[in-house]
Amino acid sequence: MSDHGHTEHHPPEASPEFEIIETAMRELLIEKGVFSADDVNNQMEKDEQIRPENGARIVARFWSDPAFRERALADGKAAAAETGLDLNVAPDLVMLENTPQLQHVTVCTLCSCSPMFVIGPPPDWYKSTTYRKRVVRDPRGVLAEWNNVLPEDMEVRVVDVTTETRYLVIPLRPEGTEGWSEEELAKLVTRDSMFGVEQALRPGEAGR
């Protein structure tokens, strides 16, 4: 699976302010004894084991298994757990299905909340103030920077993440993938397509 999809896209530039705030808050909490540096390192190691491939498998099953799709739309967290993920302490998860008439794109306007318990830590661009402000004002313009130029008659729905709920975008299944296995389909799902900023790869773009 590709983390970046089309290499020619130019997403909004990430600003470094979140790194400064994150570092300062972490050091302050360690100093106050809320948690230790070892706790931070252990959590980082655990987070590194959660990668976009986990979400890609969920999307592939959503595409290929109608019964799973119905369960996922009814209870995204429970359906995601069927793939073997440990989501006992995770927030609620809602799956947003894209259609030929509707494109979802997610943002956390307050900070950088994302479904990291499914696809791993969010990319820098998602955490940047630039993206968080611009995607609300001009979602079509932002998506175009991922070479995701949408028809004028397609609805673009920007969904703001909350502290209680995370969202996983299910990109539109590419044409020409009938009869593909879940493993083959998962290779078409990029990390950024699960945020809704780009489409899934087409056959041939993932090396099939």
Positive/negative CA dihedral, 76, 44, 160, 154:
negative
Closest CA to 104 of 199, 207, 2, 204: 199
Which residue carries 């592939």 as its tokens? Answer: 60
- In the set 2, 15, 36, 111, the catalytic residue is 111
- In the set 2, 64, 113, 128, the catalytic residue is 113
For residues 165, 57, 123 and 138, what is the CA-based torsion angle, rounded to 10 degrees?
A: -70
- In the set 108, 114, 128, 193, the catalytic residue is 108
The two three-digit tokens of residue 147, written as one number: 């070479």
* Chain center to CA of 207: 22
- Report how far residue 36's alpha carbon sits from residue 40's, in angstroms, rounded to the nearest whole number: 7
Which residue carries 């993938």 as its tokens? Answer: 177
Q: Give the count of alpha carbons within 13 A of 98, CB side only.
A: 27
- In the set 2, 36, 64, 112, the catalytic residue is 112
Is 114 annotated in the active site? no
Name the strand (E) or helix (H) holding 45. helix 37-48
Is 112 annotated in the active site? yes
Which residues neighbour 103 within 8 Å (Cβ) at sequence distance 6 or greater?
143, 150, 154, 155, 156, 157, 196
Is 128 annotated in the active site? no
Q: What positions carry a catalytic annotation? A: 108, 111-113
